[in-house]
């Protein structure tokens, strides 16, 4: 299962990078339309912060201090900087997951993030679903803004 999780996260982090590059106008990364409250840029910051916190830091032991407020309120981070962050997340995430073994996946995750016990496997699947939920939002928002 670890191999599959690595493959899926790597594949979809590449998709996130492609979405970032697909924006024709960099300023559109910081725009919304209609009832959409989060910009694509903020969602990218959020996805990077989420994975760096819960996989790279908490599982892999990488140093990271999250600024969740900035993930949703910050503006104007360059496409280049966000792209570099996606690459860093991918490398750290792979190293973090490679540090696990199959037995660990079925063990209880040390914290109750949702108010109830869960396994590492459950939490990693949640993080993967959360990632793709927002990846789809980014894709949809880009197509709305840029046709």
- Does domain 2-146 sit in CATH 2.40.50.140? no
pTM: 0.95
Give, for all 147 residues of the chain, the pLDDT tens digit. 999 999 999 999 999 999 999 999 999 999 999 889 999 999 999 999 999 999 999 999 999 999 999 999 999 999 999 999 999 999 999 999 999 999 999 999 988 889 999 999 999 999 999 999 999 999 999 999 998
- Domain ranges in the chain are 2-146
Largest Cα span, the chain: 47
Tokens describing residue 40: 């694509």
Is the CB of residue 124 less than 8 Å from the CB of residue 105?
A: yes
């Amino acid at each position: 299962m670890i191999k599959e999780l690595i493959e899926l996260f790597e594949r979809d982090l590449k998709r996130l990078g492609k979405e970032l590059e697909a924006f024709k106008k960099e300023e559109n990364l910081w725009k919304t339309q209609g009832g959409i409250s989060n910009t694509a840029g903020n969602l990218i910051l959020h996805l990077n912060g989420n994975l760096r916190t819960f996989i790279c830091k908490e599982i892999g032991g990488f140093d990271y201090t999250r600024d969740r407020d900035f993930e949703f309120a910050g503006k104007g981070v360059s496409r280049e900087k966000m792209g570099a962050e996606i690459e860093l997340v991918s490398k750290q995430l792979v190293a973090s997951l490679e540090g696990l073994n199959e037995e660990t996946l079925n063990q209880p995750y040390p914290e109750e993030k949702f108010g109830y016990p869960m396994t590492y496997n459950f939490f990693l699947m949640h993080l993967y679903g959360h990632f793709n939920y927002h990846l789809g939002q980014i894709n949809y928002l880009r197509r709305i803004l840029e046709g």
